[in-house]
Structure 1
Amino acid sequence: MPRNEVHISSLIVHVVPEHLNDVKMQIEQLDTTEIYGDSPEGKIVVVLETESHGFITDIIEKINNFAHVVSTVMVYHQIETELDDEQSNTGSQQSQVEGEV
């Protein structure tokens, strides 16, 4: 049975504090990212909504390659699956959480 998946993840991005706004602007340019908060110490909370786990690792790699990024860590990952349109009238939906911290 084919399923549609949505991966919801949150990341903590640690940046050099003096470059916080520059890195935030770069993160906001990525399609699937949304910034939910930041701190003057250089930490940014980013939420992703992607189609697969592969997209998550691609985004983490992109962010890690931005100048002035110290590290990017995934702290939460949830997979929402829904049956394709043929099956969607059953109301079936599944959710899986991994790596919750």
Structure 2
Amino acid sequence: MTGECHISSLVVHSRPDRVSSIVESLSSIEGAEVHGGAETGKLIVTLETDTESQVVERINAIQLLDGVLATALVFHHFEPVQERE
């Protein structure tokens, strides 16, 4: 059986006064990781998901966080993954 592995990177533009709460909220989203940008309010975020629809769902969830001004998908890569028997 095969699945997929999706790796995406985003820039999340946020209100400066809401950055810390956004970073905290992002840590609760499965597969999301913040890699920097808190000092400028332009967070660099990666997503690791199993499907393309999960990428879209998580981007939508991020966009709806209080204080997020915009979320831009910068990179998306996927490839098949074979499960070990």
TM above 0.5: yes
The equivalent of 2:10 in structure 1 is 11
Larger radius of gyration: 1
- Measured in 2, the distance between the counterparts of 1:68 and 1:19 equals 5
Q: C-alpha offsets along residues 49-90 of structure 1, whole Å, 9 cap, x if unaligned?
A: 10011001100111111111000111011102134547xxxx
After TM superposition, which residue ranges in structure 1, 4 or more long, deviate above 3 angstroms? 83-86
RMSD: 1.4
- Specify the code of the residue in structure 1 equivalent to 2:75: Y
Match in the other structure for 1:55: 54
Within a 5 Å distance, the mapping from 1:23-38 to structure 2 comes to 23-38=22-37
Partner residue, 2:39: 40
Q: Point out where structure 2 has 5 or more consecutive residues left out of the alignment.
A: none
Tell me the TM-score normalized by structure 2.
0.90
**Percent identity between the aligned chains?**
29
CA distance in 1, matches of 2:32, 2:83: 25
Does the residue aligned with 2:37 lie in a helix, a strand or coil? strand
Describe the SS at the equivalent of 2:72. strand
TM-score by length of 1: 0.77
Counterpart in 2 of 1:69?
68
In structure 1, the partner of 2:79 is: 80
Change in Cα spacing, 1:41 to 1:85, as seen in structure 2 (3 Å) is closer
- Residue aligned with 2:65, SS: coil
